[in-house]
DNA sequence: CTCAGCGCTTGACCGAAATCAAGGTTTCGG
DNA sequence: CCGAAACCTTGATTTCGGTCAAGCGCTGAG
């Protein structure tokens, strides 16, 4: 089971960054008022179209971002073109790799994305001054590591149909984190194309399509316009996800 | 390519923990002398036999450890018994999951292992006092995340023979971190059985065996006693690992 | 409106790895 | 030294998912 964020709604955040308004796991809640003012001066909001590359492999990273809305896919590729999605970032995740000059992964907007971007140098400096900021980053990084390991089980040991069920379940749990985690049903727009889902699950487009069709004909999900998914019984879906 | 540790030999560590003598990425180097004295009083060294479980799934964690020697495998299982190894910890990695009461993974000694173990409460307290300690943990966690994502590519997108080659390459790079990273050849004892390798690569024992045989008959590796591996040309192995 | 392009589905066939089965090798206790 | 158990290899067969191919249904430009 994909780790459900446990600290998204930790209510101990006193202040917000002026420009990004990100609470939750964003970095801003960890800063004191002076730092926030300084950060707000250099940060800026961006709207990103789907498909736009945010960080290229082996590119220098000179900024960090908070994801305010939308979904960012993190990918790694092999030299012959094979690709694997190694993570999805939802709001309010932090995007960037501290302590490294260049990125080992690509980041690309999977949907329309809005970001709050800060210069790397500013955050790096604040990280030295503010243990609370580093503490936040450690927490997010540990959560991402848990997610990555959970996904390794899916990639290495699950069948195609279990993979697709696991994917839908993970999206249902992340796309609207304000939703009741004990809810029995869910409805959402898929943030990824079939090709992206295939790259996430280590499958082909055709196999993803066939498994989605099977879930649909078996009455586990309903799909409209190839994007909008309704799951009446999350429990039923979970039983197909291989536990 | 598996991330090669970059900070193993950072020489800026002034002091050592009395009982564990772990430098490198262990937690001890981040502590000031007073903390070290306090920690040394509660820490202890252990020798662990292969196959012994260190942390069980859903078990409460009340201690952290530094790996002093040997290899620890981190596994996750599905309800029907399928297993996936989601990480290997080599010396001098830190073992434990801060900020969570119970573990979502199993940790088991893959080889004979020696550990330096501390009470969780002591480290948790020191973490609050010492930003440097949290900084270390963030660095190690980011490295583990990089490794996990690298491995997701292997699990999701590589063929069986590429997987086995990638595995051997990763072991060669980690088993003796003092070795010259530019070395052209390597020799080492496999820390895992074929069954473990299969669980790491998302394959079966038989497929691992066949691919090892192929690498052997192709002259890429030599194997003695099913454990001791010699790689004359790491470059040749790398070319088979799918880049 | 028409048509091109893209994303998705479906079908037929194929192949890499799983499964099933048998036998070899190493290790270790007695 | 013998025998059992654990581990590993090899072969035959099956199967799941990949590959190849065709067609559908939006969507947007002209």
* Over residues B130-145, mean pLDDT: 93
Q: What is the mean pLDDT of each run of 10 residues along chain A (243 residues)?
A: 40 46 63 79 88 85 91 96 96 91 91 93 91 92 97 98 98 85 92 98 98 97 95 96 93
Give the nearest chain A residue to B104 (CA atoms): A146
Whether B90 has a pLDDT exceeding 60, the answer reads yes
Indicate yes or no: strand C within 7 A of the C-beta of A226: yes
- Give B16-48 pLDDT, tens digit per residue: 465 666 554 567 778 778 888 888 888 889 899
- Estimate in Å the CA B203 to C1' C17 gap, whole number: 8
Select from B74, B84, B131 the Cβ nearest to the Cβ of A156: B84
Residues 58-87 of B with CB under 7 A from strand C: none
Chain A partners within 8 Å of B152 (Cβ): 76, 84, 86, 148, 151-152, 155
Per-residue model confidence (pLDDT) at position B28? 77
Q: How far apart are CA B238 and CA B198, in angstroms?
A: 19
Per-residue model confidence (pLDDT) at position A13? 35
Per-residue model confidence (pLDDT) at position A61? 84
In whole numbers, what is the pLDDT of chain B averaged over residues?
A: 88
**Where are the extended beta strands (E) located within A96-158?**
106-109, 113-119
CB contact under 8 A, B137 and A138: yes
Q: Which residues touch strand D (CB under 7 A)?
A: A 159-161, 202-204, 206-207, 225; B 193-195, 205-206, 208-210, 212-213, 223, 226-227
- Chain D: nucleotides below 7 Å from protein CB are 7-12, 16-21, 26-27
The 8-class DSSP code of residue B102 comes to B
Whether B50 has a pLDDT exceeding 90, the answer reads yes
Categorize the per-residue pLDDT at B2 as very low, low, confident or very high, splitting at 50, 70 and 90: very low
Q: What is the number of other CB atoms lying within 10 angstroms of the CB of residue B102?
A: 12
CB contact under 8 A, A142 and B141: yes
Residue B177 neighbours by CB under 8 Å, 6+ apart: B5, B8, B90
- Backbone Cα Rg of chain A: 18
Q: Which of B242, B151, B243 is nearest to B202 (CA)?
A: B151
Full set of structural domains in chain A with CATH: 28-152 (2.60.120.10), 158-239 (1.10.10.10)
The 8-class DSSP code of residue A241 comes to T
State how far residue B163 is from chain A, nearest Cα, in angstroms: 11
**ipTM for this prediction:** 0.91
Q: Give the nearest nucleotide to B206, CA to C1'.
A: D9
CB contact under 8 A, B243 and A97: no
The residue ranking higher by pLDDT, A24 or B153, is B153
Q: Which of A233, A220, A162, A168 is nearest to A197 (CA)?
A: A168
């Amino acid at each position: 089971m994909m780790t459900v964020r446990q600290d998204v709604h930790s209510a101990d955040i006193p202040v917000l960054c002026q420009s990004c308004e990100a609470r939750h796991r964003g970095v801003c809640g960890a800063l004191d008022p002076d730092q926030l003012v300084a950060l707000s001066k250099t940060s800026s909001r961006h709207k990103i179209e789907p498909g736009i590359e945010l960080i290229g492999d082996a590119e220098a990273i000179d900024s960090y971002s908070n994801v305010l809305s939308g979904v960012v896919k993190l990918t790694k590729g092999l030299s012959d073109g094979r690709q694997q999605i190694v993570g999805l970032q939802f709001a309010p995740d932090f995007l960037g790799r501290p302590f490294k000059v260049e990125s080992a992964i690509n980041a690309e907007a999977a949907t329309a994305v809005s970001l709050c971007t800060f210069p790397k140098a500013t955050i790096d400096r604040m990280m030295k001054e503010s243990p609370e900021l580093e503490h936040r980053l450690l927490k997010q990084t540990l959560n991402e590591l848990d997610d990555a390991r959970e996904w390794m089980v899916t990639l290495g040991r699950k069948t195609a149909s279990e993979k697709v069920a696991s994917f839908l379940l993970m999206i249902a749990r992340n796309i609207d984190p304000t939703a009741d985690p004990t809810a029995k049903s869910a409805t959402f727009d898929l943030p990824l194309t079939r090709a992206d889902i295939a790259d996430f699950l280590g499958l082909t487009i055709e196999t993803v399509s066939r498994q989605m069709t099977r879930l649909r004909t078996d009455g586990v999900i309903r799909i409209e316009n190839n994007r909008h998914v309704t799951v009446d019984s999350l429990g039923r879906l979970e039983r197909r996800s291989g536990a």
